[in-house]
A and B are shown apart, each in its own frame.
Chain A
Amino acid sequence: GNSVTQMEGPVTLSEEAFLTINCTYTATGYPSLFWYVQYPGEGLQLLLKATKADDKGSNKGFEATYRKETTSFHLEKGSVQVSDSAVYFCALSKGPGDYKLSFGAGTTVTVRA
C-alpha cells in the first residue's frame, strides 16, 4: 500500500539557516504529494503540493520537487525564521477519486533566534 517515510526529528536550527526535511514515498501509479505544517496549538495547514513528476510546489519560501525517479519530495527553505518553528508532515494521496491522505511521522522543527 501507500506509505510515506519522513526524516525523523527533532531538528533545531539557527535563524537564517538552510532547512531540508527528507521525504520518500511508496505508492502505485502517480500519487499527489503534499507538505502540511502544524504550528503550536493549531490544526494542519497545507503548505504546498505537487501533482505530477517534476512539479515543484512552493509557498512562503518553502519548495519541494516531485522526483519520481527517486520517489522523493524533500522540503527545503533557504533561510528559516523563528516563525517557521512547527511540525511538518509529508503526505500523499492516490489522486482524484481517492481522497485519503497517508502521512509521514512528522518532523518537529525549532528555529532559534
Chain B
Amino acid sequence: GAVVSQHPSWVICKSGTSVKIECRSLDFQATTMFWYRQFPKQSLMLMATSNEGSKATYEQGVEKDKFLINHASLTLSTLTVTSAHPEDSSFYICSARETGGSFYGYTFGSGTRLTVV
C-alpha cells in the first residue's frame, strides 16, 4: 500500500536554529500534502496544506514565515521551523493524498518529535 516516509523521527535543536522535516510519498504521487502539529494529549491541528508547485495554504494563526513549507515535487514536501524556540517543541505529522486517488486515500507519516532546548 501507499507509504509516506517522514524524516527525521525525532530531533533536538538549540533555540534560534532552524530545523527541516521531510515528508516523502514513496510509491505514489501526491499533489497535496498536509502538515499537522500535535501537543501532548491533544488533537492533531492542521497547520497548512501543501500543494505541489504553488504556495502552501496556512490555517489561521499559523505563522507562514516561521513554518516554511516547500512542495517542489510530487513526492516531497518539507516543513522548516525557522528560528525555533522552546514553544515550538511538538510532534509534527504529515499526510499525503494520492493524486487522482480515492478521496479517502490519506496516508500519514510516522511523525517527527521536535524538542527545542
Contact = CB atoms under 8 A, between A and B. Distances in A.
- Chain A's interface: helix, strand, loop or mixed, by majority? strand
Given A42-B110, A43-B109, A44-B95, A49 B104 contact: yes
- Chain B's interface: helix, strand, loop or mixed, by majority? strand
Contact of A105 (B41, B93, B108): B41
Contact of A103 (B32, B44, B110): B44
Interface stretch (A14-22, A68-76, A93-101): A93-101
Interface of A: 4, 32, 34, 36, 41-46, 49, 89, 95-96, 99-106
Given A99-B106, A102-B46, 16 more contacts: A43-B4, A43-B107, A43-B108, A45-B108, A89-B43, A89-B44, A95-B103, A96-B103, A99-B49, A99-B97, A101-B46, A101-B106, A103-B43, A103-B44, A105-B42, A106-B42
